[in-house]
Amino acid sequence: MFKKSVSLFTAFSFLFCSIVSVCPVWAADDDEKEEEAQYTRIISGLGDDGWSIVDVRQVSGTRIVLSPKVGVTIDLEEGNRYALFQGTTVYTQKIDLSVLRLGVSGFQSAEFMKRENGKPAIKIRYRSGPRIESRLVNMKNDNDLRRLREYIENFDAIVKGDYTLADSSQIAAGDAYPQYTDDLISFEERRPRFPVRTRLPGTVTLTDGKKIKGEFVPVFEDGRILIETDLSVQKVAINEIQKVAFHGERGSLAMEKAIMQGLGGAATGAIAGAFAGWQANADVKETMIWAAAIFGIFGFITGLVTGAKATQSGETFELGPVEGDKRRR
């Protein structure tokens, strides 16, 4: 009985860790309020994956060379070398520097820049499906910039535990690096707001006030989106759309999501249970059954709650210029 309890606890721990370890791609000071930021909301194609509501803006600033050790750009190899843009790691978890907790899926490179408001920021290039996108991540102040340089240049000593990064950088404010230059950096930042990869019920409001209600089809053709009504499938040009409203998923899809997540949870539980039973020297088969049942029930309930919430909720997006916290309405 004790061995079974230990093995089941181990299996549940695997489930818990797998849930809490999944962190958002953007989770640093990028969440800083940007009331002054001007965006243009558009509809953009996702290749063969449908289309998406996207906020677009132009970003500019002057280049900052962080450290002679990495040069103008931190590339993928250097990101791996210094455990940067990989989320919280064993090397960074004890350091109070938010950029070290930033995880970027598909990371390609990073450049540092000084924005118009005088604050430092990072231009990050990352792969998003078939596209290479750019994203701006704000940093708090120049002290954090110097601390990041200090982290890179003392990385080996930090890994060994021979160097501690303090709250205030030991690098003087007037040091040669970070090096502030007059080189201009300008790029387009695209922030996806709502992807349409499956059929979804909704309504489009055209610029002339006409409304078309039906089911969005995840197809983008020649600057047009498709919406299926009771009569036919209509192609609507995006330059004629004023507003897009999503009504949420249907109840049948919510149940489908619950079943799929339940089956997925059961499969995960069986694998975790087998491994946990083997580690705890317990009955592997019995542990697999119990873990599959627990994980399956957990997955089904989670899917049902998520699906029910989606059924009751919706999102409305007005195209055109938007500003700061008014981006989502």
Q: What is the mean pLDDT of residues 186-191?
A: 93
Q: What is the mean pLDDT of residues 48-74?
A: 94
The pLDDT, as a whole number, for residue 88 is 87
Q: Is the pLDDT of residue 105 over 80?
A: yes
The pLDDT, as a whole number, for residue 210 is 95
Cβ atoms of 102 and 87 within 8 Å: the answer is yes
Dihedral angle of Cα 205, 211, 216, 220, to the nearest 10 degrees:
-60
The pLDDT, as a whole number, for residue 207 is 95
The pLDDT, as a whole number, for residue 218 is 94
d(CA 155, CA 143): 18
Using one digit for the tens of pLDDT, what is the confidence trace for 216-231? Answer: 999 999 999 999 998 7
d(CA 279, CA 284): 9
Alpha helices in 117-188 (DSSP H): 142-153, 155-160
The pLDDT, as a whole number, for residue 255 is 66
- Winning range, highest mean pLDDT, from 127-136, 168-177, 311-320: 168-177
d(CA 106, CA 76): 9
Domains within the chain, CATH numbers bracketed: 2-19+250-312 (no CATH), 51-193 (no CATH), 197-247+314-326 (2.30.30.100)
The pLDDT, as a whole number, for residue 24 is 40
Helix count (H) and strand count (E) of the chain?
Answer: 6, 14
Q: How many CA atoms lie within 13 A of 162 on its CB side?
A: 5
Q: Is the pLDDT of residue 268 over 90?
A: no
The pLDDT, as a whole number, for residue 279 is 63
Using one digit for the tens of pLDDT, what is the confidence trace for 194-216? Answer: 999 999 999 999 999 999 999 99
Using one digit for the tens of pLDDT, what is the confidence trace for 175-185? Answer: 999 999 999 99
Query: Which residues make Cβ contacts (< 8 Å) with residue 265, sequence separation at least 6?
Result: 295, 296, 297, 298, 299, 300, 302
pLDDT band at 91 (very low <50, low <70, confident <90, very high): confident
Query: What residues pair up with 58 in beta bridges, in sequence order?
Result: 188
